[in-house]
A = this chain, B = another copy of it.
Amino acid sequence: MTISDGRIGAKRPGWARWLGSTNTITQQFLTLGGRADVVSLAGGLPAAELYPIPAIQAAARRALETHGSAALEYGPVEGFPALRQLIAARVTAETGGVFTAANVLLTSGSMQALDLIGKVLIDAGDLIVAQSPTYLGALDAWRPRQPSYRRLDWDSHEAGFGEALAKAKFVYAVPNYSNPTGVLVAQDRRAALLDKVIAAGTWLVEDDPYHSIQLDGPPGRSILSHCVARKSGPYDGPVIYLGTVSKSLVPGLRVGWVIAEAGMIQNLALAKLATDLSGSMFTQAVTLDLLERDFDRHHAKTIVPLYRERRDALCREASLHLRDWFEWDVPVGGMFVWLRAKNRAIDTDELYKFAIEEKVAFVPGSVFDFAGEDRSAMRLNFTRSSPEVLAEGVRRLARAIGNYVSSRPQLKGRDRSRGASSG
């Protein structure tokens, strides 16, 4: 940007440093997602054909009838009061704890919650202990604050890990159907982590966007709920819980929430004030109308069977075409299947280029790894496309793998048999 090319004032100041270490992969997916000839198994988008358009139309009408100008106003920065109260009541009912509106901040999706948490806690170099691989959006959100990372080891009993926790500003985990791996973290591991977090005196960010996408049985009990069980009275624990209607309703309302102790909520609100002044009272009032009717819970029952069918279609087709090279666990919830190369010499960053040639997109595993080391996995989304499109995508991916392996003689000769035998 400092090269003069005849533009007015073409000499320009430098960009902030973090921009030099970011990537444009999410933007690439969004662009590819718009190309009709590409089968995208990349993004993390819901099935648009299930968006409840008439219900939202009716909710918008009622919200303006009921709340009038209050639904068109700059908000209280913490969010539309009645929606905060409703969410506090739901969390109270779900966990048995004592939550009020003072424990709730409404955000522009969970993504804004991640940005705000980084703003109030992270200075350059500060440590985050994160489940790895980690949700790409969280790494994006915190990059401008230039944190350092350490991998969350759920089962670690070594002193070094406890010391790292004590130094960390917070722990980040997605225990229900993790993004990207789809893993459902076991109850005892959740409880054990909470013990360590309390002992270390740090915060624990529990990100729970996929809660409603329960494909085979219920999700785990939240770490927030574990925390509540340890002490009665108004909530003051270290768990910062993130929820959203993006998966259970629609993403385009941009309504999510943070549940935390009141002091944390106050500082997050201060950061939100400095970020966008307030959320949209209009979309918050529309969301209130729908949640008052439990519409999101009913709607989730419509979504789940369709997503289950799609997950099964993707896994079935993958078993037919990809198992020589990749292995995976069938996820019991969420939106993704995480494929690990049997041969660690397979580089999914490289494979991605062959996939685009075959007009199929996925997310290479490297972008979920803050250390940038794991390059042998990939994330496939199954919620956005029909079973037929998913099958076609997998067949294209199989062709891409074939082409990639053919172009890498060392993989084809030595490693294919090794790969197959380890499956």
**A residues adjacent to B (C-beta < 8 A):** 1, 7-13, 15-17, 19, 22, 24, 26-27, 30, 34, 43, 45, 48-49, 51, 53, 56-57, 60-61, 64-65, 68-69, 71-77, 108-109, 111-112, 115, 119-124, 137, 140-141, 143-145, 168-170, 197-198, 201-203, 227, 230-231, 236-238, 246, 250-254, 261, 263, 267, 269-271, 273-283, 286
Contacts and interface: CB of A to CB of B under 8 A. Distances in A.
Given A19-B120, A61-B60, A282-B283, A12 B69 contact: no
B24 A53 contact: no
B251 A74 contact: yes
Nearest to A64: B57
A64 B48 CA distance: 13
A123 B145 CA distance: 10
B64 A61 contact: no
Nearest to A271: B144
Nearest to A202: B13
Contact of A252 (B11, B71, B198, B201): B71
Contacts of A111: 275-277
Contacts of A122: 16
How many subunits of this chain does the assembly comprise?
Answer: 2
Contact of A198 (B8, B120, B282): B8
A141 B72 contact: no
A8 B236 contact: yes
Contacts of A168: 13
B275 A253 contact: no
Nearest to A146: B123
Contact of A269 (B27, B61, B198, B277): B27
Contacts of A64: 53, 56-57, 60
Contacts of A253: 72, 280, 282
Contacts of A230: 8
A72 B56 contact: yes
A143 B274 CA distance: 8
Contacts of A65: 57
Contacts of A246: 74
Contact of A276 (B13, B45, B112, B203): B112
A109 B48 contact: no
A140 B274 contact: yes
Given A144-B271, A270-B22, A275-B141, A169 B251 contact: no
A86 to B, nearest CB: 19
B170 A276 contact: no
A76 to B, nearest CB: 6
A115 B272 CA distance: 10
A273 B1 CA distance: 21
A198 to B, nearest CB: 4
Contacts of A75: 252
A53 to B, nearest CB: 5
B56 A13 contact: no
A75 B124 CA distance: 30
A225 to B, nearest CB: 13
B15 A267 contact: yes
A73 B33 CA distance: 13
Nearest to A13: B169
A277 to B, nearest CB: 4
Given A9-B201, A282-B253, A53 B27 contact: no
